[in-house]
């Protein structure tokens, strides 16, 4: 039975931007717009009511004077003046008993006599919506008084309810169209901004990674675009450089181990034959001197081969809990033994630190310490200092070991290649260029780091950090 998997659209950065940014923004804009629109509608409704109130207050005084003097013509004239502004639907004047004495507009909007008398007697101004047949009406009532302040009647001005609803509907439609246009503009701006500011740099990065995968490991990403994209591209390029470097070093290690293995047996035979010939040769003869030189060079080659084997070794570690001070003292003794007696007299070796036990492979870690201390002894003027302490490095707890000398330091142009195999700053014939490479490889096998912390005219300082061994 064949099962067809449904096609899945990839969740791209653009979709993430739309879902994570645009949709919430549009929702917030819509909610804010809806709330603002409701406030606007209330203000519009109140403003339209205030228009009627202003007209009522404007004709109230002429109507009061006309009623006090019983001038019906003046009353009608004042009522008709309210219609000069095209918002009034009807105008009515009642006496103190609620009897209609004048009107202008539709009669259906007038109130009953009892209600008119009650409103007039209350002396309060009142606005309300009511139904006049099939039409909704807004009425505003204003008491009329004579010059003595006595209530003489009531003024009623009306306005169609549809004026309110139609105008509010128009405002609502305009507002929603404006909100829709604003949201559309936001979408266009965000998508355009994503394309130019983020989309194109990311696309170039993806194309560059495709070239690296399909064509050449030496291709690199172009570091352009926003700062974060540039930093990401540079980080990927640095990672690729480290991978290339690690592959090269691994190849050199395998080659070195193979060469050392092939040369070990012939070299041991050569040294043995030279030693055997020395027994049969007078000690002061020229042949004896040549044989001793052969043995010295063969022993030097043996050291080089041992270092090659150490560098190319890929065996599992056999860890044990050991006292760090004892390890450093033993490594220092072996490093001092390599110095000539005259140099050994002038060197002060300070070893100082708290009592600590570390979980290491004794042989591999001793190789690293011996090489580092030997380098410091060869480079120093008078003094080599070794110290250690428990510390934290990049969030990991562990042990830090510092080995520093008072020599001339390392030239800045040479620091980048200091840990490369076969790279040495010593004169020809005095160094193999494998000491620091073997030390870093051994420490890296323990999960630690070896770094050149500083190098100046006052000397060189190497720092080892060994993280605590985590339980499996």
- pLDDT of 426: 62
- Cα–Cα distance, 378 to 407 (Å, whole number): 9
pLDDT of amino acid 462: 92
The model's pTM is 0.45
Query: Does domain 223-314 sit in CATH 1.10.287?
Result: yes
pLDDT of residue 106: 64
- Dump the DSSP string for 67-81: HHTT-HHHHHHHHHH
Residues 370/424, Cβ–Cβ less than 8 Å: no
Confidence of residue 326 (pLDDT cuts 50, 70, 90): very high
pLDDT at 1: 42
Give the up-direction half-sphere exposure of residue 150: CA atoms within 13 A in the CB hemisphere.
Answer: 6
Q: Tokens at residue 345, please?
A: 């007299």
CATH topology of domain 318-467: Heat Shock Protein 90 (3.30.565)
* pLDDT at residue number 5: 47
Q: What is the pLDDT of residue 256?
A: 63
- Site of tokens 């760090």: 324
Cα 236 to chain center, whole Å?
A: 16
- The per-residue pLDDT for 6 is 47
Confidence tier at 155 by pLDDT (50, 70, 90): confident
Can you tell me the distance from the alpha carbon of 459 to that of 383, in angstroms, rounded to the nearest whole number? 10
- In 3D, which of 110, 111, 59, 47 has the Cα closest to residue 84? 59
Nearest 5°: phi and psi at 238? -65, -40
Cβ neighbour number for residue 287 with a 10 Å cutoff: 12
Q: Averaged over 323-344, what is the pLDDT?
A: 83
pLDDT at 3: 46
Query: Average pLDDT of the chain?
Result: 78
pLDDT band at 309 (very low <50, low <70, confident <90, very high): low
How do the domains of the chain map onto residue ranges? 14-167, 223-314, 318-467
**How confident is the model over 400-423, as pLDDT tens digits?**
999 999 888 887 777 777 777 666
Q: How many CA atoms lie within 13 A of 404 on its CB side?
A: 18
Beta carbons of 442 and 434 less than 8 angstroms apart: no
What confidence category does residue 216 fall into, taking pLDDT thresholds of 50, 70 and 90?
A: low
Distance from C-alpha of 353 to C-alpha of 390, rounded to nearest angstrom: 10
* Residues shown for the chain: 472
Q: What is the average pLDDT across 344-373?
A: 87
What six digits make up the tokens of 270?
A: 């050569």
Report how far apart, in Å, the C-alpha atoms of 433 and of each of 302, 337, 341, 378, 413 are. Answer: 15, 20, 24, 14, 16
Supply the pLDDT for residue 386: 93
Sheet holding 383-393, edge to edge: 348-352, 383-393, 396-405, 459-467, 449-456
What pLDDT sits at residue 215? 63
Q: State pLDDT tens for residues 15-50.
A: 777 777 777 877 887 788 788 878 877 887 787 777
Nearest one of 60, 39, 40, 42 to 140, comparing CA atoms: 60
pLDDT band at 355 (very low <50, low <70, confident <90, very high): very high
Question: Picking from 36-40, 189-193, 314-318, 358-362, which range would have the lowest pLDDT averaged per residue?
Answer: 314-318
Q: What is the mean pLDDT of residues 453-457?
A: 66
Q: Which residue has the higher pLDDT, 166 or 290?
A: 290
Nearest one of 194, 60, 209 to 123, comparing CA atoms: 60
Residue bearing tokens 């003794």: 333
Q: In sequence order, what are the residues at sequence separation of 6 or more whose Cβ sits closer than 8 angstroms to the Cβ of residue 8?
A: none
- Beta bridge partners of residue 126, listed in sequence order: 141
CA separation for the pair 464, 393 (Å, rounded): 11
Pairing outcome for strands 135-145 and 151-160 = antiparallel
Q: Report the relative pairing of strands 383-393 and 348-352 from DSSP bridges.
A: parallel
The yes or no reply on domain 14-167 and CATH 3.30.300.30 is no
Region of residue 147 (phi > 0: left; psi between -120 and 50: alpha; otherwise: beta): alpha
Are the beta carbons of 161 and 141 closer than 8 angstroms?
Answer: no
Where is pLDDT greater, at 7 or 49? 49
Distance CA 150, CA 424 (A): 117
With tokens 């409103």, the residue in question is 119
The beta strands (E) that lie in 11-134 are given as: 90-95, 100-105, 126-132
Q: Which residues are bridge partners to 334 per DSSP?
A: none
Q: Average of pLDDT values for 3-21? A: 62
Q: Which of 116-120, 233-237, 285-289, 330-334 has the highest mean pLDDT?
A: 330-334
Q: 336 or 222: which carries more pLDDT confidence?
A: 336
Joined together, the tokens standing for residue 408 give 């001339």
Q: Which residue has the higher pLDDT, 249 or 150?
A: 150
**420 contacts 429 by C-beta, under 8 angstroms:** no
14-167 and 223-314 agree in CATH topology? no
Q: What's the pLDDT band for 217 if we cut at 50, 70, 90?
A: low
> Tell me, what's the pLDDT at 429?
52
CA nearest to 311, candidates 243, 236, 260, 373: 260
Whether the predicted pLDDT of 112 surpasses 90: no
Task: Determine the 3-state secondary structure of 207 from DSSP.
Answer: helix
pLDDT at 259 over 70: no
CA atoms within 13 A on the CB side of 173: 6
Q: Give me the pLDDT at residue 23, please.
A: 79
Give kind and range of the element (H or E) at residue 260: helix 227-279
Closest CA to 261 of 215, 214, 310: 310
């Amino acid at each position: 039975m064949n099962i067809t998997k449904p096609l899945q659209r990839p969740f791209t950065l653009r979709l993430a931007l739309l879902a994570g940014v645009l949709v919430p923004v549009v929702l917030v804009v819509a909610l804010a717009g809806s709330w603002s629109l409701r406030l606007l509608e209330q203000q519009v409704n109140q403003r339209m009511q205030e228009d009627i109130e202003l007209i009522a207050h404007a004709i109230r005084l002429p109507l009061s004077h006309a009623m006090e003097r019983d001038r019906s013509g003046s009353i009608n004239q004042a009522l008709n003046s309210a219609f000069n502004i095209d918002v009034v639907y009807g105008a009515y004047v009642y006496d103190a008993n609620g009897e209609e004495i004048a009107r202008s507009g539709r009669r259906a909007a007038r109130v009953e006599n009892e209600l008119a008398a009650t409103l007039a007697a209350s002396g309060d101004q009142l606005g309300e919506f009511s139904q006049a047949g099939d039409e909704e009406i807004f009425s505003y009532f204003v008491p009329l008084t004579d010059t003595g302040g006595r209530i003489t009647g009531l003024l009623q001005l009306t306005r169609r309810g549809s004026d309110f609803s139609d105008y509010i509907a128009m405002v609502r439609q305009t507002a929603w169209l404006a909100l829709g246009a604003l949201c559309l503009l936001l979408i266009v701006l965000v998508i355009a901004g994503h394309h130019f500011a983020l989309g194109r740099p990311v696309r170039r990065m993806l194309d560059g990674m495709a070239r690296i995968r399909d064509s050449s490991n030496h291709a690199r990403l172009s570091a352009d675009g926003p700062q974060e994209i540039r930093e990401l591209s540079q980080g990927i390029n640095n990672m690729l450089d480290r991978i290339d470097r690690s592959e090269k070093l691994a190849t050199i290690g395998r080659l070195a181990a193979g060469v050392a293995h092939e040369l070990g047996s012939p070299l041991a035979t050569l040294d043995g034959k030279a030693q055997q010939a020395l027994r049969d040769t007078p000690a002061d003869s020229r042949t004896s001197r040549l044989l001793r030189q052969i043995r010295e060079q063969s022993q030097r080659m043996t050291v080089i081969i041992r270092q090659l084997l150490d560098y190319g070794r890929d065996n599992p570690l056999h860890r044990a809990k050991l006292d760090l001070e004892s390890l450093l003292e033993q490594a220092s003794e072996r490093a001092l033994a390599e110095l000539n007696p005259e140099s050994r007299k002038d060197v002060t070796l300070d070893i100082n630190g708290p009592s600590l036990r570390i979980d290491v492979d004794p042989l591999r870690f001793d190789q690293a310490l011996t090489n580092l201390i030997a380098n410091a002894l060869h480079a120093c003027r008078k003094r080599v200092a070794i110290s250690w302490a428990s510390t934290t490095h990049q969030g990991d707890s562990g042990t830090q070991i510092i080995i520093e000398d008072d020599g001339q330091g390392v030239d800045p142009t040479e620091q980048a290649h200091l840990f490369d195999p076969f790279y040495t700053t010593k004169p020809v014939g005095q160094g193999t260029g494998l000491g620091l490479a073997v030390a870093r490889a051994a420490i890296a096998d323990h999960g630690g780091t070896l770094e050149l912390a500083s190098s100046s005219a006052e000397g060189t300082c190497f720092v080892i950090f060994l993280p605590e061994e985590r339980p499996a």
